[in-house]
Amino acid sequence: MNKTIRRKNLLKVSGIAVGVLALSSTLLVAPSQAAPATGSPIKVGVLTDMTGAFAIVGKSNKAVAQFTIDEINKSGGVLGHKLVMDLADGGSAPDVATQAASRLVNQDHVSMVVGGVASFTRVAVRGVIATRGKTLYVWPASYEGNECTNNVWNTGSAPNQQVDPTVKYLLAQGKKTFFLAGSDYLYPRNILARVRQDVLAGGGSIVGEEYVPLDMTDASNLTSKVVAANADALFEVVVLPGTAPFIKGVVDAGYKGTIAGTLFDEGINPLIGTEAQGLIGVQDYYGPIKDAFSQSEVAKFNAQHPEAKGLFTSTFNAPAWYRSIYLWKAAVEKAGSFDTAKVNKAMDSVSLSKSIGGPVGFAPGTKHLKLSMYLGQSNGDGSETVLKSLGQISPYQCSAATN
């Protein structure tokens, strides 16, 4: 009696265990995909953070991707195939992002992946997508540089494209002494290293350099150091959520110098408030740039995607997302195929005569874009004034070692 009860129990529980395993293994099984049949839709993997800290950026990215794909489909698709967006949420965390990327590549067999918001996501997913997954990966964000992995293409601005013209402008304005401040991680450190190099090369001097924890919200300590140093210019890369309290603090404490950075535009200014007045920066797009194509495209975007109205900004990587998909389209058409190796080869030299922000194109051998850049000054109401159109700036060169 006792034995049979126990055996029944064993059967039941091992049945459950086996069932769970079977369920988890078959629940999501999708038939694997061969080469696309003519006319069948092509999946574009869109990886962004729909949840977590960067959800606001994800909202913009998703809308821009959908807008671009719709536009391409309306004009006939790519090589006769319609595009469909395959959205994956990176959850603002690298381990979530790799899982999402793996689904795109290994289960959905997308033709390419565009996306990632933070650099930690890029370095985590590029192995899954580009190296192990042998799928084209377009990284559409302004970043710290040095990404030269095979199958990876950078379509955001690199440090030199933002930093060099900004520092040049400040030096030309007669600024001699600089204070550098940033959050303590790779991006700010690399940007500020470039600033230091440019300032010293241009005859200026660095009077202070400070790094604060990523999640700093009480900026008073840093603020007092900046005010005490009283440099002609402050170059800052303190990221959210610290940006606003820091800049407010510095301005309110009576700092008279010029504040410059890489992260000011219509997306970020409203968070800073009236203290944003006079902030200097260089971006690949601002709302008021004098470019008819950009103006009409963004107007269309705002009309078609009211949920993301006002989110088409450079700091949310919107122009980079837009051109990423068009550049890939151009490469596919040039290669006459969706095959990764062929498209990868074609990417090296594709360009767009029209894009939001102006003409762009890959500088062969660099994996980075020759980008149209603009010098901008923020206004207290959150808007930007374009001080100067800088034309196309040559891309960044990868150093031999990649990180």
Residues at the contact surface with other proteins, assessed by CB under 8 A: 5-6, 9-10, 13-14, 16-18, 20-30, 32, 50-51, 87-89, 91, 93-95, 98-100, 102-103, 105-107, 118-120, 123-124, 126-128, 131-132, 149, 184-186, 189, 213-214, 402-403
Q: For other proteins, give the closer residue by CB, 98 or 344.
A: 98
Strand-pairing partners, residue 281, are 376
- CA–CA gap between residue 306 and residue 208 (Å, rounded): 44
Q: For other proteins, give the closer residue by CB, 135 or 294.
A: 135
Contact 288, 32 (CB under 8 A): no
Least distance in angstroms from the C-beta of 26 to other proteins: 7
Q: Please name the amino acid found at residue 325.
A: I
Q: For other proteins, give the closer residue by CB, 133 or 361.
A: 133
Least distance in angstroms from the C-beta of 234 to other proteins: 22
Q: For other proteins, give the closer residue by CB, 120 or 293.
A: 120
Contact 161, 282 (CB under 8 A): yes
CA neighbours closer than 13 Å in the CB half-sphere of residue 185: 13
Q: For other proteins, give the closer residue by CB, 20 or 228.
A: 20
Cα end-to-end distance, the chain, whole Å: 66
- CA–CA gap between residue 62 and residue 115 (Å, rounded): 10
Least distance in angstroms from the C-beta of 242 to other proteins: 14
Q: For other proteins, give the closer residue by CB, 149 or 372.
A: 149
Least distance in angstroms from the C-beta of 139 to other proteins: 13
Element (H, E) at 39: none
Spell out the residues 6+ positions from residue 154 whose beta carbon is closer than 8 angstroms to its own. 139, 143, 147, 367, 368, 369, 396
Q: For other proteins, give the closer residue by CB, 105 or 251.
A: 105
Assign 230 to helix, strand or coil.
coil
Structure token pair of residue 34: 């061969």
Least distance in angstroms from the C-beta of 99 to other proteins: 6
Element (H, E) at 26: helix 2-26
Least distance in angstroms from the C-beta of 13 to other proteins: 6
Least distance in angstroms from the C-beta of 14 to other proteins: 4
Instruction: Establish whether the linkage from the previous residue to 241 is cis, with ω within 30° of 0.
Output: yes
- CA–CA gap between residue 378 and residue 233 (Å, rounded): 16
DSSP tag of 178 = E
